[in-house]
Copies of this chain bind each other. A is one copy, B any other.
Amino acid sequence: MGIIERKEREKERRKDEIVEAARRVFFEKGLVTATMDEIAEAAELSKATLYLHFPSKEDLYLAVAMGGLRALHGKFQEIIEHEPSIVRALHRMKEAYMEFFRTQRQYVQMFSFLQMSQFHKQVSDHMRSTCDSENDKHWEAIIGLLRRGVEQKIIRDDIDPTEMAIVLWTNASSLMLRADNEHDMWKRRRNIDLRKTMETSFRMTIDAILTPAARLEYQALLHAEHAAVHQS
């Protein structure tokens, strides 16, 4: 009869509206300072209605974070599917990663929250498993790419693709978080640019896992880009 489906759709849309309102409020105030009343006001709904759709503030926060993760994952997927060169794909994923957080800084803290299990006091099992499967997709994509790299002899065969995916992603995230919090402090006190430190760290890791031939390709790529930047 179609009415049920329409209601389903409307319910989903309502949920999305709430998440979008929550995103705005959380972006501005962060998890702790933002209140459900403020989010309700931003969504032009009553607080009780929010609780019809999300069982807790933390669930709502995670829904916002998952939206961000999906967006970033989409960019990665796009690169993985369309870039034939694995070396270039890794490089472009790093660029996309930097760009994503440069333009949407607030996701840095949100993604880090996923790791802070002691703050997950009220997260529902349903949301937990949603996060889980979303995360799994993300890991699968990166691990798959590295695995292909090993098969194609781009990446050394004594490297475990899964381990290396964890190392790359975890290191990038944590340096990004530090940059988000302490960028000015390091610049001021010790004249360190944490953005550059991230680049250094990434480059070092990639250098360490590539086969000699691939390393040459990577260095040529960096060199070309360097030249291009200095030309413009």
Contact A30 B208 (CB under 8 A): no
- Size category of the A interface is 35 or more
Which B residues lie within 8 Å of A201 (CB)? 167, 171
Which residues 104-139 in A have Cβ within 8 Å of B in the complex? 109, 112-113, 115-119, 121
- The chain B residue with its CB closest to the CB of A34 is B118
A166 sits at the interface (CB 8 A)? yes
Q: Is the CB of A163 within 8 A of B31?
A: no
Flag if B32 contacts A118 (CB, 8 Å): yes
Q: Does A152 sit within 8 A of B, measured CB to CB?
A: no
Interfacial chain B residues near A175, Cβ < 8 Å: 166-167, 170-171
A197 contacts across to B, CB distance below 8 A = 163, 166-167
Residue of B nearest to A121 (CB): B32
Nearest CB in chain B to that of A120: its residue: B32
**CB-based contact A208/B204 at 8 Å:** yes
- Which residue of B117, B170, B171, B178 contacts A109 across the interface (Cβ within 8 Å)? B117
Bound Cα distance from A59 to B189, whole angstroms: 24
Q: Which B residues are CB-close (under 8 A) to A113? A: 116
Contacts A200-B167, A208-B204, A208-B207 given: A162-B192 contact, CB under 8 Å?
A: yes
- Where the two chains meet, the residues of A that have a C-beta atom closer than 8 Å to any C-beta of B are 30-33, 109, 112-113, 115-119, 121, 160, 162-163, 166-167, 170-171, 173-175, 177-178, 180-181, 186, 190, 192, 194, 196-197, 200-201, 204-205, 207-208
